[in-house]
A and B are shown apart, each in its own frame.
Chain A
Amino acid sequence: MKKKIAMYWGAGCGGCDVSLLGVHEKLLDLLSVVDIVFWPCAMDFKYEDLEKMEDGSIDIAFYNGAIRTEENEEMAKLLRKKAKMLVAYGSCAMEGCVIGLANLYGREEIFDAIYLNNETTSDGKVPSHELPEFLPVLKTLDSVVKVDAFIPGCPPPAPVLEEALNALLNGETNFLANVALCDECPRRDSKPDKLEIKKIKRWHAVNDDGRCFLAQGIICMGLATRAGCKAECITANIPCTGCMGGIDGLSGTSTISAIASLIDGEDEEKEKEVIESIQDVIGTFFKYSTAKLLPYGRVKDES
């Protein structure tokens, strides 16, 4: 019997839906073993169609995108009800991803920046009616409903996806690699014996000599980020920014403690200088996981 699957998008960019096509001809293999019962992005399905389905009748429901509106939340709950297995698909659903950075701001600030005070808007106004409520903070899927499995990545890279789909169709939920990216990184062996960072440099300002980015003073999150992507970014000469999530807690916190240990500025003053030279700490270390770091938004300083 073919497995019934569903795919839904919450607050996301659409890249995850597209990523499913990234497995190329394997998609055909996939389609031969599954029935897609719900995928609004690709086929014409309506909310009622889903509502009508029997509870638990979907074998696997994939949810991509984060929970930003009431509608996202409602759909997540509905899918949970209808599906035997609910999978957080992609970084947004898993850790909140880039849009999770919005948790650094309040609703008012966000609306102000988007609808009122920005360079391309004049006489703007905040849309007010007939729209699902914009939640005070962005949430990840697992903070709203129980999630059975996670497929990381922004969007999930093809090798990760293939492995995940194979596993899930066999009822396996535990398929994530348990080592960090360095393990499969082509630059790993160029790490010097004593890794010490005397200066933090930004990637675009360095003439890349092909060695491990950290050895060149460039922040690379591969240290703490889950392997599996086959080092796509590094292979394209771009340091890892951590979309696959952390091995031990958030990759951001782990990378910060590791990098802090590696900074060698001779004395405390100089070390402080090096640390302070890191631009956009949150955006660098928590690009994909601010919603996990700040699940309740930024707590305002009360003093």
Chain B
Amino acid sequence: MARVGVFVCHCGLNIAGVVDVKKVAEELIKEKDVVFSTTYAYMCSDPGQNLIREKIKEHRLDSVVIAACSPSMHEETFRNATRDLINPYRLEIANIREQDSWVHESKDATEKAIKITKATVEKVKSNEELEPIKIDVERKALVIGGGVAGIQAALDIADAGYEVILVEKEPSIGGRMAQLSETFPTLDCSQCILTPKMVSVARHPNIKLLTYAEVVGIDGFVGNFNVRIKKKPRYVDIDKCTACGDCEDVCTVIVPNEFEFGRKPRKAIYIPFPQAVPAAYVIDEQSCLGIAPLRCGECAKACEADAINYDMQPEYIEEKVGAIVVATGYDLYDKNNLVEYGYGEDADIITSLEFERMLSAGGPTQGKVIKPSNGKEAKKIVFIQCAGSRDKQHKPYCSSICCMYTAKHALLFKHHVEDGEAYIFYIDIRATGKNYEEFIARVMEEERINYIRGKPAKIYRQGDKIVVEGVDTLLGKSVKIEADLVVLAMAIVPRNEAKDVARLLKVAIDEHGFFKEAHPKLRPVEAVTRGIFFAGCSQAPKDIPASVAQASAAASKVIAMFSHEKLEKEPIVAMFGDACTGCRTCFYICPFNAIALDSKGKAYGIEALCEGCGVCVAACPVGNIKLPNYEDEQIKKMVEVILE
């Protein structure tokens, strides 16, 4: 015989303004097995929690129903507050706020609150007392992607004393930030603030850096992931290479340099950029003559350190890690998709990242702003914001950083070309970060940049000019600008490889391909699958401060996880009976891969992986799977009470 206590919360007027809470308490005390009921203004407050504790002791309650807000708000709060008195799984929340008082106005709301609470009483009475499941945890983290986000996450975790494996697919870490010139709003030189961090990664005793490498397999579960990493052959031993560059001098193969978007050449043996980490050369096997049977071998002859080895093979590394941080970053939306802007056809229409390189002292023009078509200084530039963003034809979302970097671009341009003229087409200006609005104001006022509200209607070449026509919707005036250069603030999109990573990790990506967080507000850095975290632009477009902040957040989640002896896990997991016929339905549909098959083809659950979603329970055609405390019988009884 259960002894149930019912606590009805007013939530100020949130609930009590609509629901007659007294009546709910009065009706509930009439229910079988309910031995106590009351109401209180704020159940979650300290006195509210104390009230519950006292009444449990006074009335020897073994079950508690709290009629209040959604369980996702305070279920944990209340369970923790009473953990020493009753089993947490004998406490249930009846949601009479989100599912009742907030959505109804009439007197029916009280009726509904009574039904919801009665049904919850019915459930709690037959709830089993459960204990959390304990899982071992491997105190080592994997970080995928070595942009600023991945670097920050790796450093934070490593500084806390845990081992980190940082996997970067390019020959150097650094990501996009390494390509930027100066950064808004403070105009620090991007390389200058990034390089020290890159070097710390390379030197950190707790970080194992694997560049030119990719994760090719992952299985296991939180605390116990098994990872398989493929290291592509670099043909240069990074430990021996001194980055003297002698090899580069002798190499005769010249190809476009990707880091410079092809606007500068490189050799088949190259270093991606001077500050690269690891500071070592790499041979691009596609263009090198020496890897092919007909050997060239010049670089090896030139290399005094004897670092070059044409026989290097791909290497596979297996690691066991407890947590994974995904920081695979972003790309720009392919400019060729924007046929309306004529990109690709015209050398004088470039993307924002190409413009960053043009502004960089180390870039293809040594910081000179030129017209690529003739190499002459560009005097008049049109910047186009939201190129591909906020556009249903392309990407419906806001890329969030283009307003800021375009302002920066215009400002830096004016610093480079004093008599230059800059025009910016924009839809709105979104400058919500700290000191961002001030930065925009400064650009607008001090630098006298011409902001034109509207989208350009037409872009075409006329002689050696690019003509941009549009309407300034603020002035209601049409504008026509004959520009030397057009810079497109292209939409930020996830890297192509992100979907492969998502597939390997079995985590969700959103409709645009960004990694999907467990909860957009309350769990913004973690995946639904436990032990996997997101940082930087892989989760959504964001600037450097936000990327770094999210990386630190992800790292602290990992550190918090590692600080426990064992991981605890909700015991609401699928339980398998012995009626399984091996139909594999559950095995196929479990979104968390928490089901395996034994040698006879019968299904069993992997507790540590199961999230208790219940999908398999509904799907099993023979009713062989149950979720404790969500048994059919309990649910039927709840429905009966509601239909009474």
Which residues of chain A have a CB within 8 Å of any CB of chain B? Answer: 178-183, 188-189, 191, 193-196, 223-224, 227, 247-249, 251, 254-255, 257-258, 260-262
Chain B residue contacts of A188, Cβ below 8 A: 581-582, 601
The 10 closest A-B pairs by CB, nearest first: A248-B623, A224-B621, A182-B581, A183-B581, A261-B619, A254-B621, A223-B621, A247-B622, A258-B621, A261-B589
Chain A residue contacts of B589, Cβ below 8 A: 261-262
Chain A residue contacts of B584, Cβ below 8 A: 191, 193-195
Q: How far is the CB of A246 from chain B (nearest CB, A)?
A: 8
Chain B residue contacts of A178, Cβ below 8 A: 579
Evaluate contact between A262 and B588: CB separation under 8 angstroms. yes
Residue picked from B582, B619, B622, most chain A C-beta under 10 Å: B622
Question: Provided the pairs A180-B581, A258-B583 are in contact, do residues A195 and B588 lie with their beta carbons within 8 angstroms?
Answer: yes
Evaluate contact between B621 and A247: CB separation under 8 angstroms. yes
Evaluate contact between A179 and B623: CB separation under 8 angstroms. no
> Does B216 touch A at the CB level, under 8 Å?
no
Q: Name B619's closest neighbour in chain A (CB-CB).
A: A261
Chain A residue contacts of B601, Cβ below 8 A: 188-189, 191
Evaluate contact between A182 and B615: CB separation under 8 angstroms. no
1/0 contact string of B599-643 vs chain A (CB within 8 Å): 001000000000000010011111110000000000000000000
Chain B residue contacts of A196, Cβ below 8 A: 588
> Does B496 touch A at the CB level, under 8 Å?
no
New contact pairs (10) apart from A248-B622, A262-B585, CB-CB < 8 Å? A179-B581, A179-B622, A188-B601, A191-B583, A194-B588, A247-B622, A247-B623, A248-B620, A249-B623, A257-B619
Q: Name B616's closest neighbour in chain A (CB-CB).
A: A261
Chain B residue contacts of A257, Cβ below 8 A: 618-619, 621
Tell me, in angstroms, the Cα distance from A272 to B289 when the chains sit together: 54
14 contacts between A and B (CB under 8 A): A179-B580, A180-B583, A180-B621, A180-B622, A188-B601, A191-B583, A195-B588, A223-B581, A224-B621, A247-B622, A248-B620, A254-B620, A254-B621, A261-B589
Chain B interface, >50% SS class = loop
Query: Interface residue tally of chain B, by bracket?
Result: 10 to 19
Evaluate contact between A223 and B588: CB separation under 8 angstroms. no
Evaluate contact between B582 and A182: CB separation under 8 angstroms. yes
Chain B residue contacts of A249, Cβ below 8 A: 623
Chain A residue contacts of B618, Cβ below 8 A: 257, 261
Q: How far is the CB of A41 from chain B (nearest CB, A)?
A: 35
Q: Name A214's closest neighbour in chain B (CB-CB).
A: B583
1/0 contact string of B569-608 vs chain A (CB within 8 Å): 0000000000111111101110000000000010000000
Evaluate contact between A254 and B582: CB separation under 8 angstroms. no
Question: Provided the pairs A189-B601, A195-B588 are in contact, do residues A258 and B581 lie with their beta carbons within 8 angstroms?
Answer: no
Tell me, in angstroms, the Cα distance from A260 to B582 when the chains sit together: 17
Residue picked from A254, A257, A261, most chain B C-beta under 10 Å: A261
Tell me, in angstroms, the Cα distance from A52 to B351 when the chains sit together: 100
Q: How far is the CB of A252 from chain B (nearest CB, A)?
A: 10
Chain B residue contacts of A224, Cβ below 8 A: 621-622
Q: How far is the CB of A253 from chain B (nearest CB, A)?
A: 9
Question: Provided the pairs A261-B615, A262-B589 are in contact, do residues A183 and B621 lie with their beta carbons within 8 angstroms?
Answer: no
Evaluate contact between A254 and B615: CB separation under 8 angstroms. no
Evaluate contact between A179 and B619: CB separation under 8 angstroms. no
Chain B residue contacts of A223, Cβ below 8 A: 581, 583, 585, 621-622
Chain A residue contacts of B585, Cβ below 8 A: 195, 223, 258, 261-262
Tell me, in angstroms, the Cα distance from A193 to B593 when the chains sit together: 13
Evaluate contact between A247 and B619: CB separation under 8 angstroms. no
Q: How far is the CB of A180 from chain B (nearest CB, A)?
A: 4
Q: How far is the CB of A136 from chain B (nearest CB, A)?
A: 25
Tell me, in angstroms, the Cα distance from A248 to B620 when the chains sit together: 9
Chain A residue contacts of B580, Cβ below 8 A: 179
Q: How far is the CB of B68 from chain A (nearest CB, A)?
A: 33
Chain A residue contacts of B623, Cβ below 8 A: 247-249, 254
Q: Name B624's closest neighbour in chain A (CB-CB).
A: A248
Tell me, in angstroms, the Cα distance from A273 to B456 when the chains sit together: 41
Chain B residue contacts of A179, Cβ below 8 A: 579-581, 622
Chain A residue contacts of B622, Cβ below 8 A: 179-180, 223-224, 247-248, 254
Q: How far is the CB of A181 from chain B (nearest CB, A)?
A: 7
Tell me, in angstroms, the Cα distance from A224 to B579 when the chains sit together: 11
CB within 8 A of B582: which of A183, A227, A247, A255? Answer: A183
CB within 8 A of A248: which of B582, B615, B621? Answer: B621
Q: Name B617's closest neighbour in chain A (CB-CB).
A: A257
Tell me, in angstroms, the Cα distance from A150 to B95 when the chains sit together: 43
B361-415 interface (Cβ within 8 A of A): none
Q: How far is the CB of A217 from chain B (nearest CB, A)?
A: 14
Q: Name A225's closest neighbour in chain B (CB-CB).
A: B621
Q: Name B615's closest neighbour in chain A (CB-CB).
A: A261
Q: How far is the CB of A299 from chain B (nearest CB, A)?
A: 16
Tell me, in angstroms, the Cα distance from A179 to B579 when the chains sit together: 5
Tell me, in angstroms, the Cα distance from A257 to B617 when the chains sit together: 10
Q: How far is the CB of A16 from chain B (nearest CB, A)?
A: 26
Tell me, in angstroms, the Cα distance from A261 to B618 when the chains sit together: 9
Tell me, in angstroms, the Cα distance from A224 to B621 when the chains sit together: 5
Q: How far is the CB of B584 from chain A (nearest CB, A)?
A: 5
Q: Name A196's closest neighbour in chain B (CB-CB).
A: B588
Tell me, in angstroms, the Cα distance from A249 to B618 when the chains sit together: 12
Q: How far is the CB of B579 from chain A (nearest CB, A)?
A: 5
Chain A residue contacts of B582, Cβ below 8 A: 182-183, 188, 191
Tell me, in angstroms, the Cα distance from A258 to B581 when the chains sit together: 13
Tell me, in angstroms, the Cα distance from A181 to B579 when the chains sit together: 11
Tell me, in angstroms, the Cα distance from A208 to B176 when the chains sit together: 55
Tell me, in angstroms, the Cα distance from A19 to B394 when the chains sit together: 67
Chain A residue contacts of B624, Cβ below 8 A: 248
Q: How far is the CB of A258 from chain B (nearest CB, A)?
A: 4
Q: How far is the CB of B626 from chain A (nearest CB, A)?
A: 11
Tell me, in angstroms, the Cα distance from A178 to B622 when the chains sit together: 9
CB within 8 A of B619: which of A183, A189, A258? Answer: A258
Tell me, in angstroms, the Cα distance from A267 to B615 when the chains sit together: 18
Q: Name B589's closest neighbour in chain A (CB-CB).
A: A261
Chain B residue contacts of A183, Cβ below 8 A: 581-582
Q: How far is the CB of B614 from chain A (nearest CB, A)?
A: 12
Q: How far is the CB of A259 from chain B (nearest CB, A)?
A: 8
Chain B residue contacts of A181, Cβ below 8 A: 581
Tell me, in angstroms, the Cα distance from A34 to B120 when the chains sit together: 54
Chain B residue contacts of A258, Cβ below 8 A: 583, 585, 619-621
Chain A residue contacts of B619, Cβ below 8 A: 257-258, 260-261
Tell me, in angstroms, the Cα distance from A194 to B588 when the chains sit together: 5
Tell me, in angstroms, the Cα distance from A258 to B621 when the chains sit together: 6
Q: Name B597's closest neighbour in chain A (CB-CB).
A: A193
Q: How far is the CB of B603 from chain A (nearest CB, A)?
A: 12
Q: Name A251's closest neighbour in chain B (CB-CB).
A: B621
Q: Name A177's closest neighbour in chain B (CB-CB).
A: B579
Evaluate contact between A261 and B588: CB separation under 8 angstroms. yes
Q: Name B602's closest neighbour in chain A (CB-CB).
A: A183
Chain A residue contacts of B587, Cβ below 8 A: 193-194
Residue picked from B580, B585, B621, most chain A C-beta under 10 Å: B621
Q: How far is the CB of B586 from chain A (nearest CB, A)?
A: 8
Tell me, in angstroms, the Cα distance from A189 to B589 when the chains sit together: 19
Tell me, in angstroms, the Cα distance from A210 to B338 when the chains sit together: 51
Q: How far is the CB of B639 from chain A (nearest CB, A)?
A: 15
